[in-house]
Structure 1
Amino acid sequence: MSTISQPNSDCRMYEARFPEIDTPVMIQVKEIGDVATHVALLEYNNIEGMILLSDLSRRRIRSVGSLIKVGRIEPAMVLRVNAEKGYIDLSKKRLSEQDIQVCEERYSKSKLVHSIMRHVSETMSVDLEDLYIHVGWPLYRKYGHAYEAFKAIVNDPDSVLKPLTRELKEIGADGKEVIKAVPAISEDVKDALVRNIRRRMTPQPLKIRADIEMKCFEYDGVLHIKEAMRKAEAVSTKECPVKMKLVAAPAYVINTQTLDKEQGIKVLNQAIAACTNSIERHKGKLTIKEPPRAVSEREDKLLAEQMAYLDRQNAEVSGDEDSEAEEDTGMGSVDLESTSSSGIGD
């Protein structure tokens, strides 16, 4: 691919210069006037569009500020397109919930693709539109969305990128011009593109967690709880390893890490069922406080900090073996590696 000293790093995301009528697009509000709101179409290199105030809402407008704000990014429906004059009229009130969902999902994928393409353009000093013409837009046509092609590139870049070519004109030995097909991008640009795609799009494991309470008042209750925890962990699969930990009696967490959110939730529900069945056979009880769900890094960090704090508290009183209060703390020292029995769950 040819290089230029100051490559153009501005380009629309899609091959069409203008959106189609009755298509939802993502816009950013630039200015709110007396009769219309001026917006930029983010997927089309920020070309200008306009929303009449009468197209903001189906309901009577009491305050424009409650419906739209400068700087806000949101979907809008394309009503009219004048390609010659560059006029685009849009509407918010024509949007359905499905339109909003489709637009947000498409924009999220397109924004990631665009970010990768722009980074390659800037770091490799290649023209962004040229990169789209020979790589991005052909992949949109073939895969429906370049995002799907990029996902395939993570594991098998050659199968996606090798078929892409560009035409190169040369003067043959006889002095006549000949056209030959060459790779769409040079090896160094290809390597940069693959490297960036893998860095940004390699799937990261999700953390799935459920919060439960478990009690057992039967003799040897600690042992029965340990057995129930083992039953929960026995549900593990290679893709979804299950771990169960004590937080502070009677609170426990069951968690897994997986690339497949739905599969992770399914496995944790199976683990909870196995744990429930085991503890109830010994007249114990399991209560789900929070069902299986994906947790953020922040939630995971807060749990780790809570457990570390409780560990420090336990360490401070661990030397007080004769304390009656400690004897009645219940299941506070339960873990699957320990075989000692410290009490009965409260």
Structure 2
Amino acid sequence: MANPNLECRMYEAKYPEVDMAVMIQVHHITETGVYVSLLEYNNMEGIIPLSELSRRRIRSVSSLIKVGHQEPAIVLRVNKEKGYIDLSKKTVSEEDVQACEEQYNKSKLVHSIMRHVAEIHSIDVEELYTTIGWPLYRKYGHAYEAFKLIATDPDSILNFLTKEAGPDGEEVTKVVAAVTEDVKDTLVKNIRHRMMPQPVKIRADIEIRCYQFDGVLHIQKALRKAESFGNEDCPVKIKLVTAPLYVLTTQTLDKNQGISVLTNAIKACSEEIEKYKGKLVIKEAARVVGEREDKLLAEQMEKMWLQN
């Protein structure tokens, strides 16, 4: 196919259900309502009546909603014959926002991968959804969950996808694999590139003091106690910035595990130094840090080294 159609809804159902939370993008605002597109349904048009914008009295529509913004809305009515969809913003709860954003982010990633594979192999993206995407949605609740499994064990997921095949105009004669080897290879490569988990860096900042005789040795012992709480998947490393400031770091695929390990390490370190009448103060609790924080720490340590 020379020019495949890369536009398609994300889900098998052509229309959303009433009371469902959907992600919308605002296009224009009129005296009658706010016209939006439903991002998960191939930009199908919908409208939010002005009366559905807020429970409070509206002084300025622009203060409530802005052109170009993406946000969740609740489906009020669906007229499939005329293609009308009425939505509400005022009935959206915090739980709706969280669930809708999580669902949309997963669906958007799946859609991006599907479009890319369809473009490479000159296939209509809807055809790819019909043979791969929507069957995975039906079986796993969301194709995103299936894609996570495909990243580590593609055959166990994709080899079970089949379709009925037969000559045009005749009865079905056999069942064949829904995914050709070249499409499968491209799909798996894209999933692994986009979805394989990346390690995150967790860091905590502490101050530790001990004014007893051999206080330095007691501090060293307490820090070694903290390091012992690390494991193969989540090793604890400690650096001296400048006495009495230390940083504890770990790298792990599981953010929650990393934060837990450093928190427990600090607790053990504090209990150990208190045996010798020392004190540990948490300056910054365990949290995820990025390259910027690493760079600032390196600059701070270099500055302290030069001063010393």
Q: TM-score, normalised by structure 1?
A: 0.86
Aligned pairs for 1:130-279 (under 5 A) are 130-170=127-167, 177-279=171-273
Instruction: Deviation per CA, 1:28-87: give whole Å up to 9, x if none.
Output: 000011120000100001010000111011111111111100000000000000111111
Deviation at 1:141, TM superposition (A): 0.3
Instruction: Kindly provide the amino acid, as one letter, of the partner of residue 103 in structure 1.
Output: C
For 1:340, the equivalent position in structure 2 comes to none
Instruction: Kindly provide the amino acid, as one letter, of the partner of residue 240 in structure 1.
Output: C
Instruction: Deviation per CA, 1:187-245: give whole Å up to 9, x if none.
Output: 01100000000111111112111111111112222222222111110111112111111
Look at both structures and tell me which one has the larger radius of gyration over its CA atoms: 1
CA contact (8 A) 2:164 2:172 kept: no
Q: Which moves more between the two structures, 113-122 or 260-269? A: 260-269
For 1:325, the equivalent position in structure 2 comes to none
1:125 aligns with 2:122: yes
For 1:327, the equivalent position in structure 2 comes to none
1:100 maps to which of 97, 102, 105: 97
Give, in whole Å, the separation in 2 of the partners of 1:176 and 1:264: 59
Question: Could you say what secondary structure the match of 1:170 adopts?
Answer: coil
CA contact (8 A) 2:204 2:262 kept: yes
Give, in whole Å, the separation in 1 of the partners of 2:170 and 2:43: 43
Instruction: Kindly provide the amino acid, as one letter, of the partner of residue 153 in structure 1.
Output: I
Deviation at 1:297, TM superposition (A): 3.1
Give, in whole Å, the separation in 1 of the partners of 2:170 and 2:275: 88
Deviation at 1:116, TM superposition (A): 0.8
Flag the 1:56–1:136 CA change in 2: closer, same or farther, 3 A.
same
Contiguous gaps of at least 5 residues in structure 2 = none
Question: Could you say what secondary structure the match of 2:268 adopts?
Answer: helix
Question: Could you say what secondary structure the match of 2:167 adopts?
Answer: strand
1:302 aligns with 2:296: yes
1:64 aligns with 2:58: no
Flag the 1:25–1:178 CA change in 2: closer, same or farther, 3 A.
closer
Contiguous gaps of at least 5 residues in structure 1 = 318-346
C-alpha RMSD of matched pairs (Å): 1.6
Instruction: Deviation per CA, 1:235-269: give whole Å up to 9, x if none.
Output: 11112111111122222111111122222121111
Give, in whole Å, the separation in 2 of the partners of 1:307 and 1:112: 39
1:86 aligns with 2:83: yes
Number of corresponding residues? 308
Q: Which moves more between the two structures, 115-124 or 135-144? A: 115-124
Deviation at 1:177, TM superposition (A): 4.8
Question: Could you say what secondary structure the match of 1:294 adopts?
Answer: strand
1:45 maps to which of 29, 42, 45: 42
Instruction: Kindly provide the amino acid, as one letter, of the partner of residue 299 in structure 1.
Output: E
Q: TM-score, normalised by structure 2?
A: 0.96
